[in-house]
Structure formats: structure tokens, C-alpha cells
Amino acid sequence: MIGTSTNLLRSATAILALLSNVRAAPTSYAYTGNGQCPQANISNSEMSKRAVAFDYNGNKVRGVNLGGWFVLEPWITPSIFGEWSSSNTVVDEFTYTKTLGKGEASSRLRNHWNTFITQGDFNAIAQAGLNHVRIPIGYWAVVPRDGDPYVQGQLDVLDQAINWARGAGLKVMLDLHGAPESQNGFDNSGKYGSIGWQQGNTVSETVTAIQNLANRYKGDTDVVTAIELLNEPLGPRLDMGGIQDFYNKGSQAVKSASSNFAVVLHDAFSTDWSQFGGGVDNVILDTHQYQIFSPDEVGRSPSQHVSHACGLGPKLASTNKWIVVGEWSGAQTDCAKWLNGLGKGARYDGTFPDSRWTGDCQGKYVGSVANLSSDDKKNIRSYIEAQLDAYEQHTGWVFWTWKTESAPEWDMQDLLAGGLFPQPLNSRQYPGQCG
């Protein structure tokens, strides 16, 4: 952590910022349909004061995830996993650190943390007109467990990132992306395979991780405006009542550190958003919207992808809480190398188990935006514009992800450079797609 004098300066800065940002929290909205912000319908009895340093009621969240930085994902940085591409013995951060041992893993990962995302990235994100970054981090960075192979040191770099965000004028959502024993079995939880979260002490350990994060950054609420309790708990495979209980305890942990944090709750892949966030002030729901992880979805035509994205807008607009689409992309295929797991193929070209051929992955398996076909470029730009129009019908969006080594449909930095992500953000080559 940084010195005491710097902390005092941060606290004073935060207090001044917060005193000028006290507004009423929302309870329900009526979308105007004219591109303006939703209008809040708040009764006097429902009004409550808040001191979150971003006006989630009046301004749009326009953000990007810093995926693959503090939580490894093979498809984002395949070079890190390349030496095991044939054996498939290293498929996630757990097996990576276990195979290398703590000394070598720490050396390699510290180099990755210090080079993959830098201050220049934060400045470029702000220059693109964005106002938020969502930063995934694993529990192991905060509360290491005995016997785990993971290494630590991420928080020192995260402290630095908070200052970079402050300097660039960006707000930060901290996202606990991996829970003990995995909340979903995805490689992006840190541990691919079985789901062991909700067994033993894993839930209480997760609450402790949240508490420690909130305590560490309670003096930085001028920048760190929100903490997401857990990324993508797999509701259909978990006890939903247990998820709700964890959300209640996690919210209390965050609020006990500072009432100036908003609490972010992932929807656990449920379409019933009304069940989340009752009785908690300053709650942001987080839903992730991809159309590629089933044969039927990846088989949609470009116009069907656009239509489906537009169809989500009215549901977002009618939600009576702040809600962000916290992950989405320009991808209409699952072609990116190792997107479905190290060594696994794609549904789009029929190389993934139990899938059927829809099209060719040429140019989308590895490559850059510049080398995409003209049709792919047109379809991606159109799809991104439709999603922006739909997701801004309520609180806003956070794109996944800022940079990759070779996945052009997912790489915002490359999409911006290639003219497929609008600049300015309200520029449209395909206006009126969502009506």
C-alpha cells in the first residue's frame, strides 16, 4: 500500500468530490425513447441520499473490462500458455501456477502484470470517451488459501492502477472474478472444471475477500465507485438461495467499509432480475450478453444478432434498478483461438463437440481487425452499434475486453483503431437499427 500522507490526501480529495455528488438513488425508470437519459420515478418515501462519486442515475456507464490482466484467460493471452498447447495440462491460472511453482510463476506473472496493461492504456481508454474500467481480480490475490498454488502481488499493481484511473478521469468497478473452488467451472474463474463454491468455507472466504477489498479501497471512493461481489456464479448449477444469502452478506461487508461504494450483483444467468438487490442502497445489476455459446445462437445471421440485441433494450429500460451490461463484445462467432478452452475448437466451424458447421473461422481464429473480411467488418460495426443503442436504454455498458493478443472480434483497442467501434461513441454508420 501507499504511504500515510498519500492516503490522507486521497481521503481529502474523496470527501470534496463526494460532497458535490449527493443525489437521490433511483427506484424505477421510464425510458423516454429519444436517446435521453431515463427519467426516474421516485416517491418521497423511497428517496435516499447517496454519495457514490458517479451519477449512475443521470449519466451513462461507458466502460471496458481489463480482462486477462490479473486473472489469466488462455484465449486472451495464448502466448502465456503456448508451451502446453499440445499437452493441454495447463489450462487456467491454477494449473499454470501449480506447474511452474511459486517462484517461476511469480516471476512470469509479475512481468505480465507490469506490461500487459499500463498507464498508457488508461489514458487511451479515457481518450476514446469511456468513463469506467472494470477490473477483474481473483480471491487468491486478496485472501490466499493454504495449499493453493496461486501467487500474489496483484494488489500492488492494482493500487497503481487506481492512481492511473484517477489521473485519466476514469471510475473503477472492482470485480471479484474468481471464488474459492470456482463458482462456475470456467477457466476465467481461475480453476477450470468442477464447481466447488458453496461447499465448506468457500462462501465465507469469498465474503472475507470482498471485505478486504472494500477496506483496502475505502479511501479511494472518488475513483473506485463500485465493487462486484462475484462474477458469473452459475445459478443453474448452484443453490440460488445460497447466492442470495451471499449477496446479502457481501453487500453488508462492502457497506460496512464505506457507504460510498455501489454494490454490483451479477444476475447468475437468471432472467428474473426482480429477485436481486432488495433492501440494499446503490445496487447495480450486472448482466452479460453474448450470442455465441450455443449452436442456435452462433447460427444466427448478422441481422438476427442485431435484432436480438435490440430486443433487450426495452427489458433493460423497464428494470427498476441500475443495470449495466457488464460484458459483451463484437463477436458473432466463437472462432477466437481457445475461447472455449485451451485446445478446444469452435461451434461456428463445427470443431467444438456436438456442434454443427455455420461458417468459416478464417481471419477470426487469430489475427487483427485490419485483416478481417469486408463483410465481417460491416457486420461487427453494425452489431456493436446496435448493442450500444440497446444497452444505453438504461445505465450503460462495459465492453469485454480492452486488449487481446489475437482475437479481433473481442479487442476494443484494435476495433477502435480499425474503425469498427464508433468514434465518437454516438457516431452511427447504421442509425435506427433499434427503432
Rounded to whole angstroms, the Cα distance separating 54 from 52 reads 6
pLDDT grade for 45, boundaries at 50, 70 and 90: very low
The 3-class SS string of 75-97 reads CCCHHHHHHHCCCCCCCCHHHHH
> Count of alpha carbons within 13 Å of 254, Cβ hemisphere only?
31
pLDDT, position 23: 31
- Whole-Å CA distances, 329 to 212, 311, 315, 405: 31, 16, 19, 16
pLDDT at 217 over 70: yes
Q: Give me the helix-helix angle, 374-391 and 302-317, nearest 10°.
A: 10
Residue 249 corresponds to which cell in the numbers above? Answer: 452478506
The identity of residue 63, as a single letter, is: G
pLDDT grade for 280, boundaries at 50, 70 and 90: confident
Are the C-beta atoms of residues 78 and 129 closer than 8 Å to each other? no
- Beta partners for residue 349, in sequence order: 357
- Whole-Å CA distances, 10 to 128, 248, 258: 26, 29, 14
pLDDT at 11 over 80: no
Rounded to whole angstroms, the Cα distance separating 355 from 346 reads 8
pLDDT, position 279: 81
Rounded to whole angstroms, the Cα distance separating 375 from 302 reads 10
User: Lowest mean pLDDT: which of 66-75, 234-243, 263-272, 273-282?
Assistant: 273-282
Active site residues: 232, 327
The SS3 call for residue 373 is coil
User: Lowest mean pLDDT: which of 11-25, 177-191, 342-356, 378-392?
Assistant: 11-25
Q: What is the mean pLDDT of residues 104-116?
A: 98
Residue 33 corresponds to which cell in the numbers above? Answer: 425513447
Tens of pLDDT along 400-415? 999 999 999 999 999 9
Q: What is the mean pLDDT of residues 1-20?
A: 39
pLDDT grade for 168, boundaries at 50, 70 and 90: very high
Q: Put residue 147 in one of left, alpha, beta given phi > 0 → left and psi -120 to 50 → alpha.
A: left
pLDDT, position 51: 79
With a threshold of 0.75, does the pTM exceed it?
A: yes
Q: What is the mean pLDDT of residues 345-351?
A: 98
User: Lowest mean pLDDT: which of 49-58, 83-92, 121-130?
Assistant: 49-58
The identity of residue 382, as a single letter, is: S
